[in-house]
Amino acid sequence: MKNDVLIIYGSLNSVPSPEGAAPAKVIYETVETLNNKAFKVLSNYNPRLNQESYNKEVYLHVKSNRFDALVLLILKLRYPFKKRKQKFTTGSDKQLLYFISVCRFLLFKKHKKIVVHVSVGLVTMIKLFLPSRKVVYFHHGTSLHKKYDEQQWCQLISNCEAIFSVNKRALEMANQTFKKQLEPSRYFAIPNAIIPKVTLSQAVDYYKNRPYDEHVFVFAFSGRICIEKGVLNLLHAFKNVHDINHDVHLVVFGAAGTRGTHEIKTEYLLDCKAFAESQNIPVTFTGFLPNEDLLKGLSQVDVLILPTDTKHYEEGMPLSLIEAMSLSKPLIATNSGGSSEILNDGQNGILITSNPYIDELTKAMLNLSSNKELYAKFSKTAYTSYIENHSYESYNKAFIKALKAINFFDE
């Protein structure tokens, strides 16, 4: 087919993802809402898929075989560990074996236009074995400037027709960091979207039946409880708020988690709980919740806060903020990565720009919880922002527009 596009997930996870991996969710919902036979998805096989119901003609999977293992052996002889890690941005045999399996699949299939999510190494592998295939790299974060060196960056942009990403910030940081500049015409920001699992009317009903006193203002955090997300900073700010106004509550949705060099997982969560207990502040830690229960819980709060600590981490395009907006919840967030592209300061929430930021966060929480007119304005605009910028109707328009701009799609 002229418009035939194969979307490949570069992670070892699968699409659909039984584990609920965020990029896998984005890929799955993109293809489901596009509902176009021109698009198919390829990902790694997961035995748990046997228990899943999905369209096997659209969502394809590869398993490695002995041929792939032989190619991996030859590859390792050709590229010693340091060289192959530099070239493919990974030294993992499992990851490389998956890349080889993908290339074997492509060798016998007609797909000429490919969108690779997450893995730069897979882009390199495809261009090494199948140089005539046209490839787009889809990046899901703001870390292009941190994850790759100059050589890897040059290799990436020479191998790609274009780079798609969830925010504009990633290109800005990359072009500030690397000598080789990527032209804006080859970069397309396609903001994350969600399919709402809870309607606005359902959210209102959940709110009416929430387990908090009517006069209590409820703040919430949703995500990994780790140093990168700044949860302990949020607790310090909430303590300051509670000292002034006792009619407040904080709900922390999520479980322990970490990234990068921070290896402490549960200890950080324990530190957060210990602080809340020592200060005798009203905080509820829910632990991990299934998505349905999480969305019900978010429907029952007043504001979502994402206090990402930019000293440790840059957000991509946080789904938690988008989920909150789909429920008409105002936002408070630090200026990290793509958060500022979701949160329009003074319109649908308050953007925190300083770091350290506990004082500024305290002020924002007090302001929003005490000003009913401001809250109503932010609440209305939050839902409008979701519909206009983060619904799958808007996402698919941006995705197709980007594909058309690089001649990957014609109507």
d(CA 386, CA 348): 10
Angle between helices 266-279 and 231-244 (to 10 degrees): 10
What confidence category does residue 263 fall into, taking pLDDT thresholds of 50, 70 and 90? very low
pLDDT mean over 170-192: 95
Is CATH 1.20.58.760 the classification given to domain 200-390? no
Domain boundaries, the chain: 5-193+391-405, 200-390
What confidence category does residue 16 fall into, taking pLDDT thresholds of 50, 70 and 90? very high
Note the pLDDT tens digit of each residue in 25-69. 999 999 999 999 999 999 999 999 998 899 999 999 999 999 999
DSSP code for 122: H
Residues 6 or more apart whose Cβ sits within 8 Å of residue 318:
192, 223, 306, 308, 333, 338, 339, 342
pLDDT mean over 298-320: 95
Residue type, 238: F
DSSP character string of 211-275: SS-TT-EEEEEES-BSGGGTHHHHHHHHHHHHHH-SSEEEEEEB-B---TT----HHHHHHHHHH
Structural contact between residues 143 and 89, judged by C-beta atoms closer than 8 angstroms: no
Predicted confidence (pLDDT) at residue 249 exceeds the cutoff of 80: yes
The SS3 of residue 1 is: coil
Domain 5-193+391-405, second-level architecture: 3-Layer(aba) Sandwich (3.40)
d(CA 297, CA 305): 14
Predicted confidence (pLDDT) at residue 1 exceeds the cutoff of 50: no
Note the pLDDT tens digit of each residue in 325-364. 999 999 999 999 999 999 999 999 999 999 999 999 999 9
Q: Do domains 5-193+391-405 and 200-390 have the same CATH topology?
A: yes
Residue 259: what pLDDT? 46
Note the pLDDT tens digit of each residue in 76-87. 999 999 999 999
Q: Whole-model pTM? A: 0.89
